[in-house]
Each structure stands twice: as C-alpha cells, then as structure tokens.
C-alpha cells in the first residue's frame, strides 16, 4: 500500500496549515510516530549547521551540531525514522546522518535501509516521504523544486493508514541501526563537497 499513497485521497495543505494539522494530532498519538525518508537531497531552513556545511565549513557545521540539541518533544510514544540511503551518499545525506547523532536526539530510533530492500515497492516511482501519526493521520510530505519543505497531503482514511503502517513495519525490520551504519559508511568519509546549483 505504501507505494500507492500518491494515488489515495487526501487534502493538500500549504506549509503553515500542514504544520498546524501535524501538531494538532501529535499529542494524541497512542503508540508510535513513524517517518519514512526516501529522497537523497533536501534543503534546510533555519539550521545553522546546514548553513555552515552549505558554505563549505564542515568543521563549523559539526561544532554547531554539538550545541544544537534535539527536538524538545515530551512523548509517551515511540518515534521511529527509517532513512533510505543510496551509496555513495550525497553531501546532504552525509550531513543529515551526522545531524541525527547530535546530542539530545538520542530518544529517536533511527534505522537505515538500502534501496534494494524497497525495490519491490518502486516499480513505477520512488516511494513518497511519509509521516504516520499512529492510526490517526498520515501525511505525504511535499517539497518544492528547490527541495525546501512546502507542505503536506493529509490522509485520514484508517484502512490506508493501517496498511501503510504494516508496510512500514516490514521495512523497519529490514533496516540497520544508524550507529552501526554510520560507523562503517559515514564516519570514514572526508568532508563533503557541497553543490551550489
């Protein structure tokens, strides 16, 4: 089902409305929050560490991560992120995987999955970026052409959400813990060369 999300009914929300809808549901999640990340490059807003990396100062970027802290989220449910990673990693992903390991972000469970593991879902197109707020709501996250967050498409059909949660669970079981992947594939890399297209 997860590969058919783009074809399911949903309400397109501009950025401000998407954020409002997200945070309205967030306190009511009964069990877990899941996020699937597929694209290999994004742009970050209001993130000094990303700004430094984009400007070519990798050391400053890493230093800023140490003081950035994690999200101030008090939750009674699990937070899981499944990150599809193609090798060799893009400069953005190299930064992002460092970012996930910053102090204060330890409560988020993160796994990495190889594109080969999702190939059966991608016979027609890449999987969407998804956030699943328990059984209550799901959003297909939308980015503009410049790869900045632009909003989300809200899906409330419980059967679709349940099917996507089941698919996510199967993919999650195939993922590798971030720390092991990071030590093997990311830590040895030289500083990335950022593109300025």
pLDDT digits (tens, 9 = 90+) for 67-119: 886 666 667 799 999 999 999 999 999 999 999 999 888 889 999 999 999 99
Question: Looking at the predicted structure, is the pLDDT value of residue 131 above 60?
Answer: yes
Find how far residue 47's CA is from the centre of its chain. 16
Give the Cα separation of 164 and 170 in Å (integer): 10
Give the Cα separation of 166 and 41 in Å (integer): 26
pLDDT digits (tens, 9 = 90+) for 18-40: 999 999 999 999 999 999 999 89
In this prediction, residues 126-148 reach a mean pLDDT of 93
Give the pLDDT of residue 16.
96
Q: How far is CA 128 from CA 3, 57, 140, in A?
A: 7, 31, 6
Question: Looking at the predicted structure, is the pLDDT value of residue 197 above 60?
Answer: no
Nearest to 112 by CA among 181, 165, 22, 45: 181
CATH code assigned to 2-44+79-186: 3.30.870
Buried b (16+ CB within 10 A) or exposed e, 65-92: beeeeeeeeeeeeebbbbbbbeeebbbb
In this prediction, residues 170-180 reach a mean pLDDT of 96
Q: Are 170 and 4 spatial neighbours (Cβ–Cβ below 8 Å)?
A: no
User: Using the 8-state DSSP alphabet, how is residue 108 labeled?
Assistant: S
- For the chain, the average pLDDT equals 92
Q: Are 99 and 70 spatial neighbours (Cβ–Cβ below 8 Å)?
A: no
Give the Cα separation of 40 and 126 in Å (integer): 11
Q: What does pTM read for this prediction?
A: 0.92
Least confident stretch, 70-74, 114-118, 148-152, 174-178: 70-74
Question: Looking at the predicted structure, is the pLDDT value of residue 192 above 90?
Answer: yes
């Amino acid at each position: 089902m997860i590969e058919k999300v783009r074809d399911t009914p949903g309400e397109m929300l501009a950025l401000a409305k998407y954020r409002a809808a997200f945070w309205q549901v967030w306190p009511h999640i009964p069990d877990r929050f899941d996020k699937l990340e597929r694209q290999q490059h994004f742009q970050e807003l209001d993130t000094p560490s990303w700004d430094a990396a984009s400007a070519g100062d990798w050391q400053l970027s890493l230093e800023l991560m140490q003081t950035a802290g994690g999200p101030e989220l008090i939750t009674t449910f699990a937070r899981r992120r499944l990150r599809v990673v193609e090798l060799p990693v893009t400069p953005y992903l190299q930064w992002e995987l460092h970012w996930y390991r910053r102090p204060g972000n330890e409560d988020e469970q993160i796994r990495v999955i190889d594109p080969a593991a999702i190939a059966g879902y991608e016979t027609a197109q890449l999987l969407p970026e998804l956030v699943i707020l328990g059984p209550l709501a799901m959003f297909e996250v939308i980015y503009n052409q410049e790869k900045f967050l632009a909003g989300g498409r809200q899906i409330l059909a419980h059967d679709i959400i349940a099917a996507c949660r089941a698919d996510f669970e199967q993919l999650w079981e195939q993922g590798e813990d971030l720390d092991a992947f990071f030590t093997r594939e990311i830590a040895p890399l030289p500083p990335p060369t950022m593109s300025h297209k």
